[in-house]
Structure 1
Amino acid sequence: MFDKILIANRGEIACRIIKTARRMGIATVAVYSDADRDALHVRMADEAVHIGAAPAADSYLRIDRIVQACRDTGAQAVHPGYGFLSENPAFAEALEGAGIVFIGPGRQAITRMGDKITSKKLAEEAGVCTVPGYTGQIEDAEHAVRIAREIGYPVMLKASAGGGGKGMRVVRNDEECREGFTRATNEAQSSFGDGRVFAEKFIEEPRHIEIQVLADAHGNVVYLGERECSVQRRHQKVIEEAPSPFIDAATRQAMGEQAVALARAVDYRSAGTVEFIVDAERNFYFLEMNTRLQVEHPVTEMVTGLDLVELMIRVAAGEKLALRQQQVKLRGWSIEARVYAEDPFRNFMPSIGRLAHCLPPPESDNVRVDTGIEEGSEVSMYYDPMIAKLITFGDTREQAIDAMNDALDQYYIRGVSHNIAFLNAVLAHPRFREGRLSTHFIDEEYPDGFHPADVVHEEPGLPVAMAAAVHRALMDRAARLSGQLPSHEKAVDPQFVVLLGREQHPVDVTPIDGGYEVRRDDELYRIITGWRFGEPLIRANVNGRPVCFQLDRVGLHYRLAHRGSQIDALVVNPRTAELAQHMLEKEAPDLSRFLLSPMPGLLVRLAVKEGDEVKAGEELAVVEAMKMENSLRAGSDAKIAKVLAEEGQSLVVDQPILEFE
């Protein structure tokens, strides 16, 4: 077994690997860029080595510096995590040349399966079902159009190297094909240094289901069940679960056996994932093989009781798998939600900055938090904006979902925008609850984007009652101030009105033992809580059931969040509420004359100049953020009055780029 390993990664996966290595008694070495000098993974490791500037190309993608870090620290092996160099055969080759063990598959397997074109050919030879398509190299946009016509629209254009949704476009006609090819090749080149793109038939209403495989160097290969990864946005997974609510035992076995056959065909060793597209009839087709640890591996660990990182390390050290296929048992249900620093109400634009407050839910046998940041950490524009992976477990799918809802309610994050409201909305959606999923789920259920109206509380009176109880507690505290004149002590009137914008909700709030009783119309809420002023979470028992609200003061308002919904409540006496009806509302400024940057990013291209006339839908500019190109288009016919930014400029959110006449 190794004495010391280096983790060639950052963030939550680096922390995750360090935890297992520490439990195994293995010393760890972290690497870090300028942006990660104070990162959590750096502090957790036994040693840390600086490898370059903030951009990944100058640090986490520098093979030479990572190999040198191994030499300098005496690390005997390297775990690559996921992303960065995890599927780069040149990295595995460089380590091998330096006498350092790569904790992953062999270089040949990475080369053959990491290239999507080659892997599809190999899958066909191994007897694995594949999707019709063109696996040769596409030369240019017109070549892409000819191929797409032969396959038949709709067609998926995909980067041959890499993953994570980058370099992927679904095209339904010639025009979309030309533009999609350009975008896909640009993103592929920018993200992976390989601009090759291939094409395959796009299957309507597909599910994305993957099989976890594990192989050693002694010919032993097993599959560890499946993961349902169909809930995706822009081809990036949002919520994953194991097992799938759709797959039956016979299909699971067939998919597993094909995944094992493919692993054997390339002499695979280590953990790997074979991804399939599954149609409504449970026909499945090979999508790709990821020759690394997947982001969503924790759900498999939760239902199998195995530590995949430990098994990867043991296999790399030459040990035999102590597990046989008949010993693999799936128990219960697990769900993972990816918590990102992004604004779901602004088309999921990345949010960068410092986490002013970060309070994750308490971990237990049923709740796991994999994260690489903490309160005070910086979410950088240079890397993926993931805050954490939140994983829950239950004996049934319903229990796992309920546990996830509760855990999300307790995840308190401030300083950057986050997607917790969106995650809660998805989990509460009837279609998700029923397990009727496809990779189009988000596009179909939120066709116009995600809006506050999509997260209306299932019990609107509950947050109103909680706001009233909090305000009554504040009034009661004020009434207990010392120094009041005898016989003139402040008395608290039980009648209040909760204002939600122009909506008025009269309530009566009276103290009871351990809390308050709130009456709203015909509804009665008995709220028992030990909450104290200044605490951001209100853990309470309401009418016999536990709830957790997040609380912030915004001026005179109480901002309460629960189950993804949020209210800004102003609690006043009845007379003030009456006068409030006559107050004028401030109108928002008219910004329709401007093209604003919807995200922080780099202005990589301006498609217009002053005086140009543009038509609705015409591209105006392209902003790159998190290695993704975002095309900004005209909402209506217009004429460009002024250009307010220039190519190559770094933009902040809502920064004006163009002004229209």
Structure 2
Amino acid sequence: MRQVWSEDEFDQALQAAKRESLKSFGNDDMLVEKYLTSPRHVEVQVFCDQHDNAVYLADRDCSVQRRHQKVIEEAPAPNIAEETRRKMGETAVRAAKAIHYHGAGTVEFLLDVDGSFYFMEMNTRLQVEHPVTEMVTQQDLVEWQINVANGDALPLQQKDVLVTGHAFEARIYAEDTDNDFLPASGLLSNFSMPIENNYIRVDTGVTALDDISVFYDPMIAKLITWGENREQALAKMQSALSDCYISGVKTNLHFLYNLSVNPHFLSADLDTGFIEKHSDKLFNTSEDFQQTALLLHSIYSVLNRNEIFSSSYYSPWNDLDCLRLNQKNTQLQRVFMGGNTYDIAINTSPSKGKYSVRLSQEKVITVISARLDGDILQLDLSDKTMLCKVSESEEQYRFYTDDGAFITDKFTAISEEVNASNGVIAPLNGTVVSLIVKPNMRVSKGDVLMIVEAMKMEHSITAPDDGQVVSFHYASGDLVASGQLLLEFETF
């Protein structure tokens, strides 16, 4: 899928889309369609049997996407007029019956801001997100599919289909959300999900010590929650995400949590450009977010250290408040976050329980009081009280608050990086599709040098400057790992 905004972009976009389609589906026929600037992605679950019966089982909103792939889905789709909802369901059934379809299917629509909806495609199978439909209809759709294939009639007519409550599904991926959501790989050193009950469901095929390889889809699990209404279902999703404990590979857990607490998501202000529109809040890139993360890390480290090592409250030898005669009680910390290093100074006042945290020369925050109760951290500031849940892995601290998930590293990443001063590094795991230029051919900065495919999407590797490719280290069809030297490049 490619967006074309000008005539000059058309040919290159068409060829890229045709290559992706041919490689993934064996067919490079293209459709040219009107582009809707702020649509929602709403789909309808349909079922048809061999006895001319057909029903639709509610609808789902799948608007929140990255790289045209769904991230979080919900059922039923919120903020839709009931008349529009009924028309979409009936249209989906008519489309399925028009081709004499049997079995489970998903008819997908683009819903425009004026309530108009447009057919996009029909997936002739159950979708990844079918559990949200199962949760709100209390029907086992896999059982339906098997029985229909066996020639049985549908167990319900349209008038018997009931939708109760609301459900969300979050797709937990091994991916680097800070690097364009590129797939990640590695060993799952820890994998623990929330306990399942009537409100929480977990679908997964992995366990701790499994390998997330470059050869398969990087989805680790699906987390599904149900509530009597959207607000309750979303609150359960927020809580369940904070109960997930995964380490060994990068995941999108913190990103999913940031989505779930985003004010625009809370109010169901959705469209397919949601992530791009609210990227500053979802990716925690602002200075305020960084300072909050440093504050939470520093106070938690102090309280957690005291809790671990202070075996006797009354013994001065076990007191870790850094008492110094005639000097301030100061603790120095080095915090690692996002590849950067921060030196923090914490002045403590044991008698008053106060902390003065110097994050930089210009920024000092006073914490009136702080308390750590298990994995719940509370900070009382002059203007507000912060309450967060702390999740700790071998590599990171995660702080889940009402404003989002804040992540800091326990240590700085030290790696033997490839010297890329005279070359181009692979930004992701993938497969080389084609080499666009030949060695010693003069190119300009930004020219496409080679194409690498990952997750059915092509990624262009471009020239870092004016110059020429000295040599390629990979050929078409080769697998490449993130961080490897793809080619040697000479700058003019």
What's the TM-score once normalised by structure 1's chain length? 0.63
CA change 1:430–1:206 in 2 (3 A) is same
2:433 pairs with 1:604: yes
Matches within 5 A, 1:619-658: 619-635=448-464, 637-640=465-468, 642-643=470-471, 645-648=473-476, 649-657=478-486, 658=488
Aligned equivalent of 1:299, options 115, 132, 143: 132
Give 2:447's aligned residue. 618
Give 1:525's aligned residue. 370
- Give 3-state SS (helix, strand or coil) of 2:17's partner: helix
Q: Amino acid of the residue matched to residue 312 of structure 1? A: Q
CA change 1:366–1:496 in 2 (3 A) is farther
Give 2:302's aligned residue. 468
8 Å CA contact 2:427, 2:482 repeated in 1: yes
Give 1:552's aligned residue. 393
Give 1:192's aligned residue. 25
Give 2:175's aligned residue. 342
Cα distance in 2 for partners of 1:641, 1:546 equals 54
Paired positions, count = 453
The Cα offsets for residues 424-464 of structure 1, whole Å up to 9 and x where unpaired, read as 22222222222111112223333999565499379655444
Cα distance in 1 for partners of 2:242, 2:316 equals 42
The Cα offsets for residues 581-624 of structure 1, whole Å up to 9 and x where unpaired, read as xxxxxxx9985653210012223333344544432321122112
Cα distance in 2 for partners of 1:403, 1:266 equals 40
Cα distance in 2 for partners of 1:633, 1:553 equals 36
CA change 1:452–1:591 in 2 (3 A) is farther
Q: Percent identity?
A: 37
Give the aligned CA root-mean-square deviation in angstroms.
Answer: 3.2
8 Å CA contact 2:332, 2:343 repeated in 1: no
Determine which structure has the larger helix proportion and give its number. Answer: 1
CA change 1:236–1:447 in 2 (3 A) is farther
Give 1:565's aligned residue. 406
Give 2:102's aligned residue. 269
Cα distance in 2 for partners of 1:509, 1:336 equals 46
Give 1:153's aligned residue. none
Give 2:190's aligned residue. 357
Give 1:223's aligned residue. 56
- Give 3-state SS (helix, strand or coil) of 1:213's partner: strand
Q: Amino acid of the residue matched to residue 475 of structure 2? A: E
2:128 pairs with 1:289: no
Quote the offset at 1:189 in angstroms: 1.5
Q: Amino acid of the residue matched to residue 469 of structure 1? A: L
- Give 3-state SS (helix, strand or coil) of 1:550's partner: strand
2:7 pairs with 1:174: yes
Give 1:659's aligned residue. 489
Quote the offset at 1:266 in angstroms: 2.1
Cα distance in 2 for partners of 1:325, 1:457 equals 51
8 Å CA contact 1:170, 1:202 repeated in 2: yes
Quote the offset at 1:646 in angstroms: 2.8
8 Å CA contact 1:467, 1:569 repeated in 2: no
CA change 1:518–1:391 in 2 (3 A) is farther
8 Å CA contact 1:509, 1:518 repeated in 2: yes
Quote the offset at 1:640 in angstroms: 3.0
Cα distance in 2 for partners of 1:259, 1:330 equals 17
CA change 1:183–1:522 in 2 (3 A) is same
Q: Amino acid of the residue matched to residue 526 of structure 1? A: R
The Cα offsets for residues 15-71 of structure 1, whole Å up to 9 and x where unpaired, read as xxxxxxxxxxxxxxxxxxxxxxxxxxxxxxxxxxxxxxxxxxxxxxxxxxxxxxxxx
Quote the offset at 1:565 in angstroms: 1.7
Cα distance in 1 for partners of 2:186, 2:287 equals 26
Give 2:236's aligned residue. 403
CA change 1:467–1:309 in 2 (3 A) is same
Quote the offset at 1:228 in angstroms: 0.4
Q: Amino acid of the residue matched to residue 111 of structure 2? A: V
Task: Return 5+ residue gaps in structure 1 as ranges.
Answer: 1-167, 481-486, 511-516, 530-537, 571-587
Q: Amino acid of the residue matched to residue 504 of structure 1? A: A
Cα distance in 1 for partners of 2:292, 2:266 equals 18
Q: Amino acid of the residue matched to residue 448 of structure 2? A: E
Give 2:360's aligned residue. none
CA change 1:250–1:644 in 2 (3 A) is same
Give 1:84's aligned residue. none
CA change 1:169–1:641 in 2 (3 A) is closer
Cα distance in 2 for partners of 1:474, 1:497 equals 17
Give 2:339's aligned residue. none
Q: Amino acid of the residue matched to residue 548 of structure 1? A: K
8 Å CA contact 1:468, 1:496 repeated in 2: no
The Cα offsets for residues 558-578 of structure 1, whole Å up to 9 and x where unpaired, read as 7344343202469xxxxxxxx
CA change 1:660–1:523 in 2 (3 A) is farther
Quote the offset at 1:251 in angstroms: 0.9
- Give 3-state SS (helix, strand or coil) of 1:502's partner: strand
Cα distance in 1 for partners of 2:422, 2:372 equals 49
Q: Amino acid of the residue matched to residue 238 of structure 1? A: V
Cα distance in 1 for partners of 2:173, 2:109 equals 25
CA change 1:173–1:382 in 2 (3 A) is same
Moved more, 640-649 or 285-294: 640-649
Matches within 5 A, 1:120-159: none
The Cα offsets for residues 203-258 of structure 1, whole Å up to 9 and x where unpaired, read as 22111101111222222221111100111112111111111122121111111111
8 Å CA contact 1:452, 1:565 repeated in 2: no
The Cα offsets for residues 273-298 of structure 1, whole Å up to 9 and x where unpaired, read as 11111100111111111110011111
Cα distance in 1 for partners of 2:209, 2:418 equals 33
- Give 3-state SS (helix, strand or coil) of 2:306's partner: helix
CA change 1:399–1:198 in 2 (3 A) is same
Quote the offset at 1:654 in angstroms: 1.4
CA change 1:191–1:553 in 2 (3 A) is closer
CA change 1:228–1:610 in 2 (3 A) is same
8 Å CA contact 2:354, 2:367 repeated in 1: no
Task: Return 5+ residue gaps in structure 2 as ranges.
Answer: 323-328, 336-341, 357-365, 412-416
